[in-house]
Amino acid sequence: MVKTLREIIKACCICGAPVHRYNAKYCLRCAKFGARMRTKHFPPATVAAIWAYIKKYGYVCYYTGLPLNLDNDKSPLYLVFDHWIPGDPSKVVICCSFVNEMKSDMTQDEFEDTCCQLADHFRKGTPVVLKPFVYWDRIHPVSGGD
Ligand SMILES: [Zn+2]
């Protein structure tokens, strides 16, 4: 029996697209993404969790569900890595660059709370009650004056 081209070409173990060469494990997109992750030196468990997320949901933002751009680093939808807890490499998620800029050094809970308060403020005019951000001073140390 003759195999069809689809039967001959292996599928990427992450996204199911055709692999980029006959003995490859990944398609070109996933191979490039894997190389990008290697430059970050994440712990193996973190890398495995990111792959599992992509395998389940695809290249979509963890926070918004928006499809991510993997090619144009000027795009607000460009895929970036977010430390779920700032500075902690044990849980890293993929998200769009504009959300990562907004989240900055907030934890997940701080980010959600702040976003909800801002939405209420924009829609209803309710005041924002700012709670201290646990990791904020990590990148914005108090200078003691200007
Ligand atoms: Zn793939």
pLDDT digits (tens, 9 = 90+) for 91-136: 999 999 999 999 988 999 999 999 999 999 999 999 999 888 988 8
The pLDDT assigned to 55 comes to: 97
Q: How far is the CA of 11 from the centre of ligand 1 (A)?
A: 8
Q: Which two tokens stand for residue 134?
A: 């646990």
pLDDT at residue 29 greater than cutoff 70 = yes
The pLDDT assigned to 139 comes to: 56
What average pLDDT does range 40-44 have in this prediction? Answer: 95
Q: How far is the CA of 119 from the centre of ligand 1 (A)?
A: 36
Q: How far is the CA of 27 from the centre of ligand 1 (A)?
A: 4
Q: How far is the C-alpha of 44 from the C-alpha of 33, rounded, in Å?
A: 15
- Band (pLDDT 50/70/90 cuts) for residue 8 is low
Helices (H), the chain: 5-8, 28-40, 44-57, 97-103, 108-124
Q: How far is the CA of 14 from the centre of ligand 1 (A)?
A: 5
Q: Is 80 helix (H, G, I), strand (E, B) or coil?
A: strand
Residues 6+ apart with CB under 8 A from 11: 17, 18, 19
Residue 65 class from Cβ within 10 Å (0-12 exposed, 13-18 middle, 19+ buried)?
exposed
Q: How far is the C-alpha of 86 from the C-alpha of 104, rounded, in Å?
A: 8
- Band (pLDDT 50/70/90 cuts) for residue 7 is low
In 3D space, the residue among 41, 138, 48 whose CA is nearest the CA of residue 89 turns out to be 41
The pLDDT assigned to 121 comes to: 97
pLDDT digits (tens, 9 = 90+) for 46-58: 999 999 999 999 9
